Structure 1
Amino acid sequence: MVTIRDVAKLAGVSVATVSRVLNNSISSEKSRLAVLQAVEKLEYSPNANAQALALKNTDTIGVVVTDVTDSFFAILVKAVDQVASEYGKSILIGIGYHNAEKEKNAIDTLLRKRCSCLVVHSKALDDKTLKNYLDNVPSMVIINRVIKGYEHRCVNLDNQRGTFLATETLISLGHKKIGYIGSNHNISDEEERRNGYLDALKTYQLNKLNSAIVHTSPDFDGGEKAMIELLSYHSDLTAVVTYNDNIAAGALSVLNENNIKVPEQFSVIGFDDMPIARYLIPKLTTIRYPIDLMASYAAKLALNLADKTFECPSYVQFKPTLVKRFSIENAPKK
């Protein structure tokens, strides 16, 4: 593990000088450049390394999420907060917005505030950076992602199984012309969910339709735009599997505006089982993403790792389930 002493030695300065430079305190330009060059060469992560030593000194759990305005992440934060309350602790929140630099800043800020442990949802940071944090912050847990070699500190969902189940359900109802609306974010969830859809088509020997896969922003507007595009290409499409419930809501809006009855003429399946799914018309059939259970497990794991009283369990992967409501039906007869 690279330490601040290693940086000082390479830069030819004292540890105190390195500390002043890293904390933007007054230092000579020559020393500052020497320290920054040493940091870059050694790939030293100052906040993770320096603050990890003080992790046990507070009663705060740090949580990094993508966007607290999204109901998915709101549920995640609430679940962690409930665990924190149970253990007599509080939480601090950092937001990454699918941006590597912002995710890193969020983690570093929480470490500077001496959080006792971390639950991190990171999609933009690369594996190398996250491995460095995991090496230096023993009570950090990754949620909704798997880092090779650190599986016992990762909590995730079998995304591929989820969209396979969604597509398989539609096929069992006689649908053969099935589209997929995915996220345009370059994240593992999207690749896994798209692969689940494709695997189901292959398993049941259905041809992949040209232009039947559309990627869009994972929100209402994105769902509307993608559904318009699918309908433009395919007049014979009878069903669609979507990346999440927000996209499904946008798709339902377009179908309604075009007088295409759901589910009589067209079936839609979402993913996540967010609260909105129960209030759409018709109520949305979706794949349940148990983010509340996953976040609760991740928080308890992080707390126990911080106390060093918990033997790490084997890698746990949560399973998706189908929540059947009223947005799917047997394929219409042609």
Structure 2
Amino acid sequence: MATIYQVSELAGVSLATVSRVMNNNAKVSDKTKQKVLDAMAQLGYQPNSIAQSLASNRSNSVGVLVSELHGPFFGDMMSAIEETLRYEGKHTIITSGHSDEKREKESIEFLIGRKCDALILHAEAVSDEYLLELEQRGIEFVLINRYIESLKNRCICLDNRQGGYLATQHLLNLGHRQLVYVSGPLWKQDAQARLTGHKQALNEANIAFTQAQLFEGDYRQDSGCKGLDYFLERGQKFTAIVCANDEMASGVMSRARQLGIVVPDELSIVGFDNIIYASYLYPTLTTIDYPIYDMGKMAAYSILKTVYNKKDVQVTPVFVPKLKVRNSSIQHT
């Protein structure tokens, strides 16, 4: 079986040049590229990832850490990353951290141990200090949905505060004045930012925010059900409910239906994320569009540009959320 070394000798070029040809690197002239291709054909050489790694000091793999492997949100993110990298001849190794500091660290160190060329991290529980340490260790990585000022060049994020603001402003514009809020886990940066936006919109409308109007959920559907029960059991008056993600909003809708509360006639609901089934719920869900597919693609672009020297890509670090008005919110009379 022919080896990459034999290809190098027959073509009269270095191992690095052979690797560049196999990786479609634009730095190789057409004449040199043809010499290498001819040598490969003559020897019947079939490239493999190990040989490419030896020649280029690259594994052509990118590690991806996500919080969970289930659900449309992370599915979209992983699909975008994998498709974008695969198109450029790179492969992904995916692991999950389950929003737990120990598991996230273990997963990140596993990916580093697999000799990934770079990492794309949806890391929620590890500290800023740990991520700064990764940078000091020379690990190439990009963060999704997390902003650290000293690592801002590595961050691909959404303006979550603005998203929270838009959701609440929409209901206020419809005449609602009694609002309650189901948040995500408030130790998470995005949940804090969305709640901050909610409070800002209330403040601008001269409406006081109290803790009685807040239920802290966990971003899962069941906590939306619990949130609605929480407010009803305490006699809280409200005509609209803002949920920090669509899963919890769907839980509120499901529980409202069980209790005979008509949405949106008796209760308007707004979610956050615009996951695929938001437009299939009944009634269809008004929500904030979180372009996670585009953000995953942008994270992959960032790696391609900084690690693999792909020059013809533009990286947008901050995405702006947009309101998607559907049928779960109506004018309050």
TM-score, normalization: structure 2? 0.80
Aligned partner letter, 1:273: N
Aligned to 2:99: 98
Give, in angstroms, the shift of residue 121 of structure 1: 0.7
Secondary structure of the residue that 2:327 maps to in structure 1?
coil
TM-score, normalization: structure 1? 0.79
RMSD: 2.0
Aligned to 2:59: 58
The residue correspondences of 1:240-251 to structure 2 (distance < 5 A) are 240-251=241-252
In the alignment, the residues of structure 2 paired with residue 68 and residue 185 of structure 1 have an alpha-carbon distance, to the nearest angstrom, of 22
C-alpha distance 301-254 of structure 1, shift in aligned 2 (>3 A): same
In the alignment, the residues of structure 2 paired with residue 95 and residue 174 of structure 1 have an alpha-carbon distance, to the nearest angstrom, of 42
Aligned partner letter, 1:109: F
Aligned residues: percent identity?
30
Q: Determine if the alignment matches structure 1 residue 71 to structure 2 residue 89.
A: no
Q: Determine if the alignment matches structure 1 residue 320 to structure 2 residue 321.
A: yes
**Number of residue equivalences:** 279
Aligned partner letter, 1:265: E
C-alpha distance 99-238 of structure 1, shift in aligned 2 (>3 A): same
Secondary structure of the residue that 1:57 maps to in structure 2?
coil
C-alpha distance 326-312 of structure 1, shift in aligned 2 (>3 A): closer
Secondary structure of the residue that 2:300 maps to in structure 1?
helix
Secondary structure of the residue that 1:146 maps to in structure 2?
coil
Secondary structure of the residue that 2:307 maps to in structure 1?
helix
C-alpha distance 213-302 of structure 1, shift in aligned 2 (>3 A): same
The residue correspondences of 1:183-332 to structure 2 (distance < 5 A) are 183-184=184-185, 186-209=187-210, 211-234=212-235, 236-308=237-309, 316-331=317-332
Secondary structure of the residue that 2:212 maps to in structure 1?
coil
Give, in angstroms, the shift of residue 74 of structure 1: 1.2
Aligned to 1:159: 160
Displaced runs of 4 or more, over 4 A: 308-315
For residues 242-276 of structure 1, the C-alpha deviation after alignment (integer angstroms, 9 at most, x for no partner) is 01001001101111112111111110000001112
Note the residue ranges of structure 2 that are not aligned, 5 or more in a row. 1-54
For residues 22-78 of structure 1, the C-alpha deviation after alignment (integer angstroms, 9 at most, x for no partner) is xxxxxxxxxxxxxxxxxxxxxxxxxxxxxxxx9952111110000011321111110
Aligned partner letter, 2:267: F
In the alignment, the residues of structure 2 paired with residue 56 and residue 104 of structure 1 have an alpha-carbon distance, to the nearest angstrom, of 25
For residues 121-169 of structure 1, the C-alpha deviation after alignment (integer angstroms, 9 at most, x for no partner) is 1010000100111233453111110122110111101001001001000
Aligned partner letter, 2:179: I
Secondary structure of the residue that 1:272 maps to in structure 2?
coil
C-alpha distance 284-84 of structure 1, shift in aligned 2 (>3 A): same
Secondary structure of the residue that 2:201 maps to in structure 1?
helix
